[in-house]
Amino acid sequence: MKKSLLAVAALGAFASAAQAQSSVTVYGILDLGYIGQNQRVANNTAAAGGGTVAKSTTSQFGQSAESTSRLGFKGTEDMGGGLSAFFTIETAITPNNQNAISSSTGTANRQTFVGLKKNGIGQFALGTQYTTIHNAVSATDPGNANNMQGNVIYDKPGAYTTPVNGTAQGAGTWAFAGNQDNTSYTVRANNMLSLKSDTFSGFTGNAFYVMNNNNANQTTTVTTGAAGTTAVTGGSTNNNGFGAGVDYTWTKLLVTANFQQFTDKGPYTIANNTAVYSVNPPAQGGYGGTTVYGTNVKDNQQYYAATYDFGILKGYLQYVNRKTLDVNNPNTYVARTAQQIGVRSYITPTIESWASVGTGKLTVSSASAGANTIYGSGAAGSGSNAANFSAFQLGTNYWLSKRTNLYAIYGQQQTANQTWNNASSKLNPTSYNTNNYAVGVRHTF
């Protein structure tokens, strides 16, 4: 009898040891379907009037409309005493490209980090990770942060490059040509230390710090011009950021408040005893893994949201604010604010639908009296400009199983009251309208 008890105890100890071993999970998403888009831009080509309307239509059997296709590995190791280690490696997948594993420098590395967790206290991790705002958006967005147009918080229109006043506009430019490729906030960052607390009385704290500094002296170059002037290049390159957020959960209510800031400081050139910093006007981006956008800029971002589960449906309320400014001249900046409401509900046990509507405003300002870098026109002048935008989105999932669903999504948005302004002319307002629709299949594993 005693030998039997000893054998059972030994087996139990062995099972406990086996359970404490590290485990690795392979996971991913494949999302493919039909995607279409219509764009309409009304603008003016001359100060005296004579507007034109540019139209375009695209359609394809595309990918990642509802969720970005991805492949990932994650694992944990229980080290006993409530302490565990964890890691994640996740890369984007492009099923319709020759290279199925995405080679994009901005989005291929979705997440790569390692960390430690202590039960009852919290966790920390180091590597490429999501920011506190993106984690909050993922939990409070009615469309679950899909990649379709019509969402003013997680805005994902495709690039628009048709010339406005003869100048092509695209991501990171000052003109509001409808391109808002996730200009609301920075999604992820490299070189990050993240912190997350356990939940205490309904409150959970989140924070991160980004550091990628080069404090060594830059290469010094001395040149003598015809006028006898001397220019010396020096200084240091510093890329850093920080963020903090708090979530509060009470029964069916979730409230979140978050702030994050990224700062980029570059080297300078001294000419005639005057420090001249690198010229690169503030631009808003952040979808990829780049820590910060622009040179010598400070990027302030805020996000507040609340959700409430009414039983038959879940309600959403969101607000985001972002201001990116020149660190050496804060009167030169680009700012964006947006607010959105939405609902999400299971109509039947297998049919899930959502709807959202939002509005916002884009503003740019320049204190420069020289080249008008704000609008990318190259003309002399200065001033400010603002444009209003609005959007809505409708979507439905039909769940075939726990891991596979069919979907249909439609989104529409417009940007209005954009005024082109430079030293030589003030053109009439420009409007931009676009809609985006997709039907597809998504499988998670």
- Residues 189-205 have pLDDT tens digits of 889 999 999 999 999 99
Distance CA 214, CA 237 (A): 5
| Residue 1 belongs to a domain | no
Distance CA 80, CA 17 (A): 10
Name the nearest CA neighbour of 415 among 393, 384, 388: 388
Cβ-based neighbours of 318, under 8 Å, separated by 6 or more = 137, 140, 141, 153, 303, 304, 305, 339, 340, 341, 342, 358
| Residue 113 belongs to a domain | yes
Cβ-based neighbours of 88, under 8 Å, separated by 6 or more = 72, 73, 74, 111, 112, 113
- pLDDT value at position 155? 80
- pLDDT value at position 90? 95
Name the nearest CA neighbour of 109 among 289, 290, 291, 292: 289
- Burial (CB count <10 Å: 0-12, 13-18, 19+), residue 53: exposed
- Residues 28-74 have pLDDT tens digits of 999 999 999 888 777 644 444 446 677 888 888 999 999 999 999 99
| Residue 346 belongs to a domain | yes
pTM of the model: 0.81
- pLDDT value at position 220? 53
CATH of the domain at 367: 2.40.160.10
pLDDT by position in tens, the chain (length 445): 444 444 444 434 434 444 456 799 999 999 999 999 888 777 644 444 446 677 888 888 999 999 999 999 999 999 999 999 999 999 998 888 887 776 665 668 899 999 999 999 999 999 999 999 999 999 999 999 998 989 999 986 443 333 233 333 333 332 333 334 457 888 888 899 999 999 999 999 999 999 876 655 555 555 555 554 455 555 667 778 999 999 999 999 999 999 999 887 766 555 555 555 554 556 665 444 444 445 677 889 999 999 999 999 999 999 999 988 887 777 778 888 999 999 999 999 999 999 999 999 888 776 653 333 333 333 334 445 777 889 999 999 999 999 999 999 999 988 776 554 443 444 445 677 888 899 999 999 9
| Total domains present in the chain | 1
- pLDDT value at position 233? 57
| Residue 20 belongs to a domain | no
Distance CA 434, CA 388 (A): 14
- pLDDT value at position 216? 54
- pLDDT value at position 371? 33
- Residues 345-365 have pLDDT tens digits of 999 999 999 999 999 988 877
Distance CA 89, CA 125 (A): 13
- pLDDT value at position 118? 97
| Residue 422 belongs to a domain | yes
Distance CA 173, CA 153 (A): 19
Range of the domain at 347: 25-444
Distance CA 37, CA 45 (A): 25
| Residue 103 belongs to a domain | yes
| Residue 411 belongs to a domain | yes
Name the nearest CA neighbour of 127 among 208, 183, 196: 208
Kindly list the distances between the CA atom of residue 183 and the CA atoms of 15, 225, 281, 324, 385, in Å, as whole numbers in the listed order: 50, 42, 15, 10, 17
Contact in structure between 343 and 316 (CB atoms under 8 Å) = yes
Amino acid letter for position 96? N
